[in-house]
Amino acid sequence: MAESLPPDVSATLNALLTGTDPVSGALRAQIAHTRVAGRCGCGCATVDLEVNRAAVPPAPEHGNPAVDAWYAVPENAGAMIFTQDGYLSLLEIYSASSDPIAAWPTPCFVER
């Protein structure tokens, strides 16, 4: 059963979609119409996303992941946004460490 977006997931999506390009703008507009549809089974904070497609149009054609960025802290961790048919579908967190990241860090990203 889908649940409302937690504030940390919403903040992470907003921080990752700050670009002025049409894809970022369209995906950012979807956040208000997005719910968590599932969670990763490994214990990490990754979430499956479900957008009310009747409420907002899809983003223009783009590649996947739509966004891939590295966190400032923790080091060697990052987040990716995936889409399906132009709609938000997955917010994934990953790390070079063997332990899963169980909570969304403060969304501060750096270029590498």
Instruction: Read off the pLDDT of residues 19-77 as tens digits, 9 standing for 90 and up.
Output: 999 999 999 999 999 999 999 999 999 999 999 999 999 999 999 999 999 999 998 89
DSSP the chain: --EEPPHHHHHHHHHHT---SHHHHHHHHHGGGEEEEEE-TTSSS-EEEEE-TTTSPPPPS--SSSEEEEESSSTTEEEEEEEETTEEEEEEEEESSSS---SPPP--EE--
Which position has the token pair 């590295």?
A: 70
Q: Which two tokens stand for residue 1?
A: 């059963």
- pLDDT value of residue 46: 98
- pLDDT value of residue 5: 96
Q: pLDDT tier at 98 (50, 70, 90 boundaries)?
A: confident
- pLDDT value of residue 77: 94
The answer on pLDDT for 1 being more than 80 is no
